[in-house]
Amino acid sequence: MDARELLDRALTCAGVVLLVLFLSPSAGAAPPRTVVSFTVDDGTASQSTGARILSEHRMRGTFYVVSGSIGQPGYLGMDDLRRMAAAGHEIGGHTVNHPDLGTAGPDELRREICQDRANLTGWGFRVTSFAYPFGTADRSAQRAAQDCGYNSARITGSIRTARGCDNCPSAEVIPPPNPMAVRGTGMVDPSWTLDELKQLVRDAEADGGGWVPLVLHQTCDFCGSLSISPRVLDQFASWLATREANGTVVRTVDQVVGGESGPLVRPPAPEPRAGLVNASLEEPGPRGWTTSGSGRISPKWTLVPDARSGRWAQRLDLAGEVSGDAKLLQRMDMGEVAPLAHENNTYTLNTWYKSTAPTQFAVYYRDQSGFWRYWITSPFFAPANGWTAATWTTPAAPPGTTGISFGLALSAPGSLTTDDYGLREHPQVRHERLCDRLPWTPMLRWLC
């Protein structure tokens, strides 16, 4: 190469350098980089609408689903999840049964979180991100999420918004200082305006960038206290697409945090126990029990000092039009409270009651994935003015049964007071045939 060619190349390189400097921002700094993540909790059916809207804007969200609810009325089905994942949306964990993790012991935490991740992974999803039910997590819950193999776990109400958290930062740090407590916004509800959502992003941009995980639930109009209008979501996504010039992008949680998918962790097995937790309802709460209802009802629950034994009993009152039922059940968890049960065994249920209307046992079972399913109801028991025993033995438990929960249900206007619950398991007895004890020969086998 002669001297003239060397000079030409030098001038060309110098021109490229000058052009790059001319096109670069002043002060040599890139625009602040802000990342917005659409994080969507619970796996309700309307979230397929939210996923579609994001896809139309070439954006992807992180959908934290409750695996025990998938396929149930009002929730996403398996086909919905697979379509969302195929479109590039992330599927994350949100426990099997959506409990308040602050009330669970260390083993129960791991059963809810690890089994949920195993369920989702078994369905074919890459599961690296988790969100705590109700948005809070103490050290025990954070440790459980980490031990179950998650790369991140999100909390709520820890980014400054127009609705509060004035002392909070405008954005999470990238990478987050505590991946097991990734800060997210408060829970978006129908009163949040488009301008408020925009301002969240502008505040993060003005403060130098960072990560803004938005906490959403349902995507629909007038469908719940934690929803966003499809129109508002569409307008916000459309506006976000224009912010790329400001260095603002939309990413899933997995894209922000990164890391390989950790191995699955087997949750600890529940410990067998004798009897029901707080069977006489004397401990506050009452501990170990939950109220449940379905249909159009307005139940009133009261602990009353009108007990068959001890001091307290639980009273249920239903008034007005009743379409559905209400009942007190053992907490339907992964084994900390709910009694263990086994397939093919039968169970004798009993409690004492007073009622102004007919009542019957409603029974649920837990399967091997930790999902709770309705099982059966008993025949009705007649109204009773004084304390009366209600006793009934179930048929054989369904295949795969691992737990049981039951309670007396009220499905008509009136009152029902219950106390002193009990449960007795009847293991299946295999009746051995004479032929099973005989030495095997072709002739004997033919005779049998």
Prior bond of 286 cis (ω within 30°) = yes
Provide the domain count of the chain. Answer: 2
Long-range contacts of 385-390 (CB under 8 A, 24+ apart): 385/354, 386/354, 387/308, 387/352, 387/353, 387/354, 387/419, 388/352, 388/353, 388/354, 389/350, 389/351, 389/352, 390/349, 390/350, 390/351, 390/352, 390/353, 390/359, 390/361
What's the confidence (pLDDT) of residue 436? 53
Q: Which two tokens stand for residue 88?
A: 């590039």
Looking at the structure, tell me whether residues 111 and 46 fall in a common domain: yes
What's the confidence (pLDDT) of residue 32? 57
Looking at the structure, tell me whether residues 362 and 240 fall in a common domain: no
Q: pLDDT tens digits, residue range 277-297?
A: 999 999 999 999 999 999 989
Residue 15 within a domain = no
> What is the rounded distance in angstroms from the CA atom of residue 249 to the CA atom of residue 246?
9
Residue 105 within a domain = yes
Looking at the structure, tell me whether residues 49 and 149 fall in a common domain: yes
Contact (CB, 8 A) for 115 and 96: yes
Q: Which two tokens stand for residue 106?
A: 């260390």
What's the confidence (pLDDT) of residue 5? 46
Least confident of 132-141, 193-202, 318-327: 318-327
> What is the rounded distance in angstroms from the CA atom of residue 322 to the CA atom of residue 324?
6
> What is the rounded distance in angstroms from the CA atom of residue 213 to the CA atom of residue 198?
13
Give the whole-number percent of the chain exceeding pLDDT 90: 85
Give the CATH number for residue 364. 2.60.120.260
Contact (CB, 8 A) for 340 and 272: yes
Looking at the structure, tell me whether residues 167 and 48 fall in a common domain: yes
Looking at the structure, tell me whether residues 231 and 329 fall in a common domain: no
Average pLDDT, the chain: 91
Q: Going by DSSP bridges, is the β-strand pair 414-426/346-355 parallel, antiparallel, or unpaired? A: antiparallel
Looking at the structure, tell me whether residues 229 and 119 fall in a common domain: yes
Confidence band for 133, pLDDT divided at 50, 70 and 90 = very high
> What is the rounded distance in angstroms from the CA atom of residue 253 to the CA atom of residue 145?
15
Looking at the structure, tell me whether residues 299 and 202 fall in a common domain: no
Contact (CB, 8 A) for 330 and 366: no
Q: pLDDT tens digits, residue range 96-122?
A: 999 999 999 999 999 999 999 999 999
Q: How many CB atoms lie within 10 A of CB 327?
A: 24
Residue 441 within a domain = no
Confidence band for 430, pLDDT divided at 50, 70 and 90 = low
What's the confidence (pLDDT) of residue 24? 37
Looking at the structure, tell me whether residues 233 and 302 fall in a common domain: no
Least confident of 20-29, 232-241, 352-361, 384-393: 20-29
Alpha helices for 228-320 (secondary structure H) = 230-241, 253-257
- Say whether pLDDT at 56 is over 60: yes
Looking at the structure, tell me whether residues 249 and 310 fall in a common domain: no
Residue 135 within a domain = yes
Looking at the structure, tell me whether residues 202 and 321 fall in a common domain: no
In terms of residue numbers, what domain contains 192?
34-257
What's the confidence (pLDDT) of residue 37? 98
Q: What end-to-end distance do the CA atoms of the chain give, in Å?
A: 100
Specify the higher pLDDT residue, 5 or 42. 42
What's the confidence (pLDDT) of residue 194? 98
Q: What is the pTM of this model?
A: 0.86
Residue 269 within a domain = no
Specify the higher pLDDT residue, 435 or 369. 369
What's the confidence (pLDDT) of residue 321? 86
Give the CATH number for residue 170. 3.20.20.370
Residue 206 within a domain = yes
Domain edge (last residue) among 241, 257, 273: 257
> What is the rounded distance in angstroms from the CA atom of residue 108 to the CA atom of residue 113?
9
Q: pLDDT tens digits, residue range 214-265?
A: 999 999 998 999 999 999 999 999 999 999 989 999 999 999 999 999 999 9
Specify the higher pLDDT residue, 41 or 30. 41
What's the confidence (pLDDT) of residue 256? 97
Q: pLDDT tens digits, residue range 354-383?
A: 999 999 999 999 999 999 999 999 999 999
Length in residues, the chain: 448
Work out the average pLDDT over 378-402: 98
- Say whether pLDDT at 4 is over 50: no
Confidence band for 137, pLDDT divided at 50, 70 and 90 = very high
Three-state SS at 244: helix
Confidence band for 437, pLDDT divided at 50, 70 and 90 = low
The closest alpha carbon to 32, from 254, 249, 257, belongs to 249
Contact (CB, 8 A) for 99 and 133: yes
Q: Which two tokens stand for residue 330?
A: 């053992």
The closest alpha carbon to 313, from 410, 387, 405, belongs to 387
What's the confidence (pLDDT) of residue 125? 98
- φ and ψ of 53, to 5 deg: -60, -45
Looking at the structure, tell me whether residues 306 and 210 fall in a common domain: no
What's the confidence (pLDDT) of residue 243? 95
Residue 98 within a domain = yes
Residue 427's region, left for phi above 0, alpha for psi from -120 to 50, else beta, is beta
Residue 282 within a domain = no
What's the confidence (pLDDT) of residue 274? 86
Looking at the structure, tell me whether residues 350 and 232 fall in a common domain: no
**DSSP per-residue string spanning 82-114:** HHHHHTT-EEEE--SS---GGGS-HHHHHHHHH
